[in-house]
A and B are shown apart, each in its own frame.
Chain A
Amino acid sequence: MDDKDPPSRRRMLECMGWAGAGVLWTVSGGLASSVSLDTALAAPKPGKGFSFLQVSDSHIGFNKDPNPDARVTFREAVAKIKAMPVKPAFILHTGDVSHLSRDAEFDDADQILSEAGLTAFHVPGEHDMLDEGGGVAFLKRYGKGTAGDGWFSFDHSGVHFVGLVNVKDLKAGGMGHLGEAQLAWLQQDLEDRSSSTPIVVFTHIPMWALYPEWGWGTDDSAQAMSLLRRFGSVTVLNGHIHQVIQKVEGNVAFHTARSTAFPQPAPGQGPAPGPMKVPAGQLRDVLGIRTVNLVRNGQPLAVIDTPLA
C-alpha cells in the first residue's frame, strides 16, 4: 500500500474480499501468490503509522498428522518476524499457545516467541484452559496486570487495543462465551473514549456466528459488538479456526487468522473441524502469520496474511 495515496474504503473492502477469496484458494490447494512473503517483506515503510503482528494457534505440543512437531513451524513463523525489514511494534498471540496446557508446552512457546525480541500480549484459547485449575497456568504466566479471567486493554499510538477471553467456563451446547463480568468491564473500558478512537479487539474464538454447527462463534458477542458499534474503526482479530476468513459489517472488520501448527477445513467441509491433512510439501502454504499496518489518517487498517512457505 502506498502511504501517500491511501485506498478508498470501498477499494479496501474489495481488497479484503479478494484476500479472503485468495486464502480460500489456498485452503483448497492453490496458493494466492500475490499475498506471498515477498510481498509482505517488500511492503513499504509504515511512515507515520505503525504495524503490529498477530500469531495464533501455535498449539505447541501438537505432533500428529499433518504436523509432527508444531514447535518447528512456530519457530519458522518467528524467523519470518525476525526477518521483517520494519519491526512490528509488538506481537498479539490470539490463543491456543499450547495444545494441552502443559508447563513444558508453554515453556517451549515462550522460548520460541522470545526469539522475535518483541513484546507479546496473549489471550487464551480453549487449549490453554486444560490444566487442573482451568486456566490458572495460563493466567499465572501471561495474566499479569489483567482483570477477571485475563482480559485487558492498552493504548498504542492512539489506538485502543482490547484483549478479550471467550474460552472460559464454556457451557453445554454453547459456543465461545464472554460472560456478564467481562461485558461490564468492557462497557466501562470503552465508555469514556471518543468514537474516533481506532479500536482493535483481539480474542480467540470468532466474534460472529461464523459456523455455529462447529461452535465457531461467541454466544454473547452481540452484546460486545453493541458496545463497539459507535466507534468509527473497529478491527476484530481472532484465531481458533486455523484459516483466513474476513467479514465487514459497517465500521467493524472481522479477521480470523491462520495457525502456525495445522490447518482446519472450511466451514462445513467434511464431518468435523479436526486437523486437515495436507501433503507435507503443502503444509507451510496453509500456515502463517499476519501483519497489520495502520496509517495515521483515519484509513482502515491494512491486514496482510503471510503463509510460512
Chain B
Amino acid sequence: MRHLLPALALAATLAAPAFAAPAPVTVKIANFTFAAPVVTVPAGTTVTWVNEDDIPHTVVADDKTMFKSKVLDTGDKFAFTFAKPGTYGYFCSIHPHMTGKIVVKAP
C-alpha cells in the first residue's frame, strides 16, 4: 500500500490536460531535401526527422551545438524537443546545401 499513493499521483499528472505536450511533428528527409523546409510549432513540440533517402544525412543546428544528430542512415530517425520560442535553423553537415528551419511559437 505504501507505493500506491505516489503511483496515483503520477497517473494524475500524466492525465492533466495542462501538462499535455503539443502533437509531435515529423520532417521527412528525401531527395537531398528536408521535405518541409520551414515548420512552425508551439513550444514543447518534439520534432522527429526521418531519413528516407538511400544516402546518409545528418540534422545539425546552425550553431552546431544546440542539437546534432549522429549520422542517419536510411530509415534512421532523430528527435529533438524545442522548449523555447525562437527560430532555429539547421542543416545536413554532410550536404550543407540542405537547410531547414523550425519556428517555435509561445504555446
Chain A interface residues toward B at CB < 8 A? 64-65, 99-101, 126-127, 129-130, 132, 170-175, 212-215, 271-275
Contact = CB atoms under 8 A, between A and B. Distances in A.
B71 interface: yes
Contacts of B70: 132
Contact of B96 (A130, A174, A275): A174
A259 to B, nearest CB: 13
Interface in B31-81: 31-33, 53-56, 58, 60, 62, 70-71, 73-74
A213 B98 CA distance: 10
B96 A65 contact: no
A172 B53 contact: no
B91 A172 contact: yes
A141 B56 CA distance: 22
10 contacts: A100-B71, A100-B73, A127-B56, A170-B96, A173-B97, A175-B96, A175-B97, A214-B32, A272-B32, A274-B53
Contacts of B97: 173-175, 212-215
A54 to B, nearest CB: 22
Given A172-B99, A175-B97, A272-B53, 5 more contacts: A130-B71, A170-B94, A172-B91, A173-B99, A271-B31
Contact of A273 (B32, B73, B89, B99): B32
Interface of B: 31-33, 53-56, 58, 60, 62, 70-71, 73-74, 89-91, 93-97, 99
A64 to B, nearest CB: 5
Q: Please provide the 8 A-B residue pairs with the shortest distance between their CB atoms, ordered closest to farther.
A: A172-B91, A215-B97, A272-B31, A272-B32, A170-B96, A130-B71, A271-B31, A172-B62
Contact of B32 (A99, A129, A173, A274): A274
Contacts of A215: 95-97
Contacts of A174: 96-97
B59 to A, nearest CB: 11
